[in-house]
Amino acid sequence: MNAAIRAVARSALDLNMSVYGVRQGFQGLIEDQFRPLNARDVGGIIHLGGTFLGSARSKEFREERGRSKALRNLASHGIEGLVVIGGNGSQTGSYMLSKLGFPVVGVASTIDNDLYGTNITIGSDTAVNVTLEAIDHLRTTGSSHNRAFLVETMGRDCGYLAMMAGLAGGAEVISTPEAEVSASEIAERLRAAYERGKTHAIVVIAEGVKDNSARILDYFEKDKRMVGFELRATVLGHVVRGAPPTAFDRFLATRLGVGATVSLARGQFGVLVGYEAGDVIRTPLEDIAGRTKPIGTELVELARVLAK
């Protein structure tokens, strides 16, 4: 998000716009936490995860009173357009402000990569790489100790992080909300891997599945021999967020941030700025608000074939 803030600010300053940063997201709009931003204010942040402006999940903004207060504050600073960098919740908020007539442009940013209107969201590549690094480390212990590891990663109700990291990490099983693998099926696949002579096995689990790593461990507790391998679980949780962004994420954030400024300058409001096939694209907020995009079935099939 820092790289996106930098790109929005510097490209807007280049067009002689005045730029303000809003602290703590929508909550900051309500609490009047605005600060002018110049080119130096956004220096030295491109390599940092998170957002130097801060972020918050705002209950008040979900109510009409909160949104009206936000609009009053925007008007009192003479602000003529707003860029909202965020995922589903944030872009639903963008849509609400936009419906009230305020010029808003969304920038697709969430580690979950579950937004319509973009092929990829800011942060997801970094989160995939953090998950992958964990998988690689665990595989080393797995091989040395002849163990299987369950690795649970984030992603809310979308299996993108688990699927991508699992494929890139050569996982034996990948379980996602879109294609959940039951505990008994995991046991069968691990047993088969053991009997094929594998020295380790990795099971990647998305946080949104019903049979999460705790449940699977419970299930295996009944009969430890059923998988062959000794089994351990690691829940990555918030560790997958906040890492220094990958080159791709910095590039994506830069393109989308500049794309948002271009939209504001053109008077193209009420859209989400996303990325598809190497191009910046724009989709009406009403088409993406309140919807989440699952991973494609082709990836599910790929994971099954490659686990052999």
Give how many residues touch ligand F6P by CB under 6 A: 9
d(CA 231, CA 201): 9
Residue (69 or 241) nearer to ligand F6P, CB: 241
d(CA 149, CA 118): 33
249 is catalytic: no
227-246: which residues touch ligand F6P (CB under 6 A)?
A: 241
From the CB of 26, what's the least distance to ligand F6P, in Å?
14
CB 276 within 8 A of CB 152: no
Residue (241 or 304) nearer to ligand F6P, CB: 241
From the CB of 167, what's the least distance to ligand F6P, in Å?
18
Residue (172 or 207) nearer to ligand F6P, CB: 207
Residue (24 or 146) nearer to ligand F6P, CB: 24
Site string for ligand F6P, 138-177 (x = CB under 6 A): ----------------xxx---------------------
d(CA 158, CA 178): 7
Beta bridge partners of 152: 205, 235
Q: Is 112 in the site for ligand F6P (CB under 6 A)?
A: yes
Q: Is 110 in the site for ligand F6P (CB under 6 A)?
A: yes
From the list 29-37, 70-78, 104-112, 176-184, the region that binds ligand F6P by CB under 6 A is 104-112
Instruction: Give me the residue whose beta carbon is nearest to ligand F6P.
Output: 154
Q: Which of 12, 22, 105, 111 binds ligand F6P (CB under 6 A)?
A: 111
d(CA 43, CA 50): 15
Binding positions for ligand F6P, rule: CB under 6 A: 87, 110-112, 154-156, 207, 241
